[in-house]
């Protein structure tokens, strides 16, 4: 059966400019994310710095705009000085977050240079777990001061004449979580974060700072954590962080596909708290949202617990290596659409993570590399989702699932690129059974014509891409799905459980 839905767009109903930083990612010193991930000096594809060119090629293909580093949980026990200077002199350390052995072969200089080569902006986290203001200031001076001081001259001595000029800094990571080394109460975190932020902004008032939000909406302290910590940090920070991961542990796909409704709720709640603190402070600025960890994450969990408990202190073991299914890609697509729907306040988003560790890119040590299923919705939004997000008025059939009611089968948002005179509609059809024909009414786009319909579809919700079979789930161009009725009106048929990118361009 084919169901029907209706999508109306009006050119002037804008949500906001899409910040390219929402197409960000994250690499942590964790598992094979860095070592045997982006960096593998013995690999035949390694460049002169030891980083894999084939992996960097896919990072560029994704158009990753910003990369958060070095953690994650890892940062809360990290001594950044371990990762600078001659590699052979760098100490090996126990990483208590992941119970592995850290060789420090890669540190801030290698990471920042890699970012430059891949075209991504680095986003650094400072350690507010075991360390604090002084270590953060030293790192900032080492990275950003031109010359003539202890730390900047040391960087130059290490071979990096030009400052890295890192603009975005996270004040710790998930400090509300008791798994964090140096976990803090909201009062403790608020105090250390505000004092670190003040000192960092004395060095450079133009850097942008991210205050740590809750690790997840399930935290007992959510959203009081945000209210209390922001009350301390409001004046000196620019963003608050959000983290969210989803899984389909009980195999309930209808419920799993609805999870992005929680993302929507999370974003709205955090915006409300930010605005409440702004009102309380008689403030003038809006705090922006940095959704700096998000993804599907559950496939690898039992394996990782065994690995970390039973066999600790290994160097870059395989950890968190989720192999993503087709249905995971649909959830990722829904989350990306939700981010675009909040383009006015959500200015940074980092898919966690980039390579091997819960990642869109999977490598074999000494071998090949492949695009996981979740690679594609990220790729498409990054390619076609830059511009102005438009608020669609959607009339969609709905369903109820275990945890949600009134879930619209159609999840959608549109982005208009005025410069290129293009309009793109991103749509997920959540229906497990039915194709849906959407009737589109695009006001203000009467002279636009349909150009292409890219779709990610698969009969098997559990289909995966592997190194042996990398193209099991790949997008294709759908032919004959769109009927143009003239004057900005179209009908488009979407297959059941599908990710769709429907592109339009001004006619010449």
Identify whether the C-beta of residue 144 lies closer than 8 Å to the C-beta of residue 43.
no
Binding ligand AHR (rule: CB under 6 A), the pick from 3, 118, 144, 173 is 173
Give me the residue label for tokens 């290129």.
420
Q: Minimum Å distance from CB 268 to ligand AHR? A: 22
For residue 429, what are its two tokens? 């059809």
129: contact with ligand AHR by CB under 6 A = no
28: contact with ligand AHR by CB under 6 A = yes
Look up residue 52 and give its DSSP letter: B
Q: Is 217 helix (H, G, I), strand (E, B) or coil?
A: coil
For residue 240, what are its two tokens? 């608050």
Q: Minimum Å distance from CB 293 to ligand AHR? A: 5
Q: Which of 293, 321, 327, 422 is catalytic?
A: 293
User: With contacts defined by CB under 6 A, how many residues of the chain interact with ligand AHR?
Assistant: 10
Identify whether the C-beta of residue 23 lies closer than 8 Å to the C-beta of residue 67.
no
174: contact with ligand AHR by CB under 6 A = yes
Cα dist from 503 to 340, 448, 449, 457, 500, whole Å = 16, 10, 9, 17, 10
Identify whether the C-beta of residue 498 lies closer than 8 Å to the C-beta of residue 428.
yes
Q: Is 141 a catalytic residue?
A: no
Q: Which of 174, 226, 321, 422 is catalytic?
A: 174
For residue 389, what are its two tokens? 């997000």
Q: Please, which residue, 336 or 352, has the CB nearer to ligand AHR?
A: 352
Q: Minimum Å distance from CB 34 to ligand AHR? A: 13
Q: Is 174 a catalytic residue?
A: yes
Stretch that binds ligand AHR, among 66-74, 249-257, 383-391, 392-400 (CB under 6 A): 66-74
71: contact with ligand AHR by CB under 6 A = yes
Q: Minimum Å distance from CB 181 to ligand AHR? A: 11
Q: Please, which residue, 38 or 455, has the CB nearer to ligand AHR?
A: 38
Q: Please, which residue, 25 or 481, has the CB nearer to ligand AHR?
A: 25
Q: Please, which residue, 72 or 129, has the CB nearer to ligand AHR?
A: 72
Please state whether beta strands 398-399 and 407-408 pair in parallel, antiparallel, or not at all (unpaired): antiparallel
Q: Which of residues 333-352 bind ligand AHR (CB under 6 A)?
A: 352
Give me the residue label for tokens 């990612």.
25
Identify whether the C-beta of residue 372 lies closer than 8 Å to the C-beta of residue 359.
yes
Q: Residue 53: which residues within 8 A CB-CB, separation 6 or more?
A: 45, 46, 47
Q: Please, which residue, 71 or 132, has the CB nearer to ligand AHR?
A: 71
Q: Please, which residue, 215 or 325, has the CB nearer to ligand AHR?
A: 215
Binding ligand AHR (rule: CB under 6 A), the pick from 19, 293, 344, 422 is 293
Q: Residue 170: which residues within 8 A CB-CB, separation 6 or more?
A: 68, 123, 124, 125, 126, 209, 210, 212, 241, 290, 292
73: contact with ligand AHR by CB under 6 A = yes
Q: Please, which residue, 102 or 411, has the CB nearer to ligand AHR?
A: 102
Q: Minimum Å distance from CB 352 to ligand AHR? A: 4
Q: Minimum Å distance from CB 200 to ligand AHR? A: 21
Residue 53 CA to residue 63 CA, distance in Å, equals 15
Residue 504 CA to residue 12 CA, distance in Å, equals 17
Residue 453 CA to residue 492 CA, distance in Å, equals 9
Binding ligand AHR (rule: CB under 6 A), the pick from 118, 290, 353, 495 is 353
Q: Minimum Å distance from CB 266 to ligand AHR? A: 15
Cis check for the bond before 155: say yes or no (omega within 30 of 0): no
| Residues classed as catalytic | 174, 293
Q: Which residues bind ligand AHR (CB under 6 A)?
A: 28, 71-73, 173-174, 215, 293, 352-353
């Amino acid at each position: 059966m084919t169901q029907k839905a209706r999508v109306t767009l009006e050119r002037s109903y804008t949500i906001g400019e899409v910040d390219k930083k929402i197409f960000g990612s994250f690499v942590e010193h964790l598992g094979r994310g860095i070592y045997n991930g982006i960096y593998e000096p013995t690999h035949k594809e390694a460049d002169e710095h030891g980083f894999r060119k084939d992996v960097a090629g896919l990072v560029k293909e994704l158009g990753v705009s910003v990369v958060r580093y070095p953690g994650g949980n890892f940062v809360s026990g990290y001594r950044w000085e371990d990762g600078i200077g001659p590699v052979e002199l760098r100490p090996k350390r126990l990483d208590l977050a992941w119970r592995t052995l850290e060789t420090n072969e890669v540190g801030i200089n290698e990471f920042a240079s890699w970012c430059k080569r891949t075209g991504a902006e680095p986003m650094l986290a400072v350690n507010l777990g075991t360390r604090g203001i002084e270590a953060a200031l030293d790192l900032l001076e080492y990275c950003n001061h031109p010359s003539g001081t202890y730390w900047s001259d040391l960087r130059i001595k290490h071979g990096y004449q030009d400052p890295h000029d890192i603009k975005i800094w996270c004040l710790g990571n998930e400090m509300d979580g008791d798994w964090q080394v140096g976990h803090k109460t909201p009062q403790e975190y608020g105090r250390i974060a505000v004092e670190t932020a003040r000192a960092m902004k004395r060095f450079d008032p133009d850097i942008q700072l991210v205050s740590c939000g809750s690790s997840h909406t399930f935290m007992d302290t959510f959203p009081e954590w945000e209210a209390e910590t922001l009350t301390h940090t409001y004046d000196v920070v620019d963003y608050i962080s959000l983290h969210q991961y989803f899984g389909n542990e009980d195999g309930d796909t209808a419920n799993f596909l609805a999870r992005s409704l929680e993302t929507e709720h999370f974003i709205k709640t955090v915006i409300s708290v930010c605005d409440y603190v702004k009102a309380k402070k008689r403030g003038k600025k809006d705090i922006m949202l940095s959704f700096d960890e998000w993804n599907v994450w559950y496939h690898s969990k039992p394996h990782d617990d065994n690995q970390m408990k039973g066999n600790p202190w290994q160097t870059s073991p395989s950890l968190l290596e989720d192999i993503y299914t087709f249905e995971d890609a649909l959830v990722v697509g829904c989350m990306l659409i939700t981010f675009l729907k909040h383009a006015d306040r959500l200015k940074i988003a980092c898919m966690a993570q980039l390579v091997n560790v819960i990642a869109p890119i999977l490598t074999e040590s000494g071998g090949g590399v492949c695009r996981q299923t979740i690679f594609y919705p990220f790729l498409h939004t990054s390619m076609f989702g830059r511009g102005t997000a438009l608020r669609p008025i959607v009339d969609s059939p709905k369903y109820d699932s275990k945890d949600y009611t009134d879930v619209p089968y159609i999840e959608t948002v549109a982005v208009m690129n005025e410069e290129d005179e293009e309009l793109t509609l991103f749509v997920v059809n959540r229906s497990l059974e039915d194709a849906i024909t959407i009737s589109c009414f695009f006001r203000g786009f009467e002279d636009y014509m349909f150009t292409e319909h890219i779709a990610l579809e698969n009969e098997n919700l559990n289909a995966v891409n592997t190194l042996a079979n990398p193209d099991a789930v790949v997008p294709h161009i759908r032919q004959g799905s769109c009927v143009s009725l003239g004057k900005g009106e179209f009908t488009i048929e979407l297959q059941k459980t599908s990710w769709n990118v429907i592109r339009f361009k001004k006619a010449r």
